Structure 1
Amino acid sequence: MRTLLAAAIVVGLAATGCTYPMTGANPVGSNPPARTTPTRSPAAAPPATGTAKLIFAELRQVRVIASRPEVAGYRRDQFGQSWTDDHAGLGGHNGCDTRNDVLAAQLTAAQYRARSRCVVIAGTLPADPYTGRRIEFRKAAATKVQIDHLYPLARAWDMGAARWPLQRRVDFANDEAANLLAVDGPANASKNDSGPGEWLPINRNYRCTYVLRYLQVAGKYALPITAADGDAARATTRTCP
Structure 2
Amino acid sequence: MAKFYARRRCGILLALAGLVASAGLFNAPAASAALPTPVSGATARSYLATLPVRTENRTGYSRDLFPHWITISGTCNTRETVLKRDGSNVVTDSACYATSGSWYSPYDGATWTAASDIDIDHLVPLAEAWDSGAGSWTTSRRQAFANDLTRPQLLAVTDHVNQAKGDQDPATWMPSRTSYHCIYVRAWVQVKYYYGLSVDSAEKSALTNHLSGC
Question: What is the deviation of 1:185?
Answer: 1.1
Candidates 99, 115, 118, aligned match of 1:145: 118
Separation in structure 2 between the aligned mates of residue 121 and residue 157 of structure 1, nearest angstrom:
34
Partner Cα separation in structure 2 for residue 70 and residue 103 of structure 1: 30
Q: Which runs of 5+ in 1 are unaligned?
A: 1-49, 86-91
Q: Which residue of 2 is the match for residue 107 of structure 1?
A: 87
The aligned counterpart of 1:132 is 109
Q: 1 CA distance for matches of 2:189 and 2:177?
A: 19
The amino acid that maps onto 1:53 is A
Tell me the amino acid that sits aligned with residue 226 of structure 1.
D
Question: Post-superposition shift, 1:147?
Answer: 0.4
Q: Does 1:203 align with 2:190?
A: no
Calculate the TM-score normalised by the size of structure 1. 0.67
Structure 1 residue 158: deviation in Å?
2.0
Out of 22, 45, 62, the residue aligned to residue 75 of structure 1 is: 62
Paired AA for residue 189 in structure 1: Q
1:222 pairs with one of 171, 176, 196: 196
**2:9 corresponds to:** none
What does 1:59-74 correspond to in 2, within 5 Å? 59-65=48-54, 67-71=55-59, 73-74=60-61
Letter in 2 for 1:176: L
User: Are the counterparts in 2 of residues 197 and 226 from structure 1 also a CA contact under 8 Å?
Assistant: no
Q: Is the 8 A contact 1:51 1:208 kept in 2?
A: no
Identity among equivalent positions (%) equals 33
**Residue deviations 1:169-192, cap 9 Å, x none?**
111100022211111111111110
The 8 Å contact of residues 150 and 180 in structure 1, kept in 2 or not, is answered as: yes
Q: Secondary structure at the match of 1:200?
A: coil
- 1:1-241, aligned counterparts within 5 Å? 51-65=40-54, 67-71=55-59, 73-80=60-67, 82-85=68-71, 92-113=72-93, 115-116=94-95, 118-126=96-104, 128-133=105-110, 135-139=111-115, 142=116, 144-178=117-151, 179-240=153-214
Point out which structure has higher relative CO (alpha carbons under 8 A, 6+ apart): 2
Residue 221 (structure 1) shift: 0.7
Once residues 106 and 47 of structure 2 are traced to their aligned partners in structure 1, the CA distance between those partners, rounded to angstroms, is 21
Runs of 4+ in 1 over 3 A off after TM superposition: 92-95
Which structure has the bigger radius of gyration?
1
Aligned-residue CA RMSD (Å): 1.8
Contact 1:55 1:233 in 2 (8 A): no
Which runs of 5 or more structure 2 residues have no equivalent in the other structure? Answer: 1-38
Query: Normalising to structure 2: TM-score of the pair?
Result: 0.75
How many aligned positions are there? 175
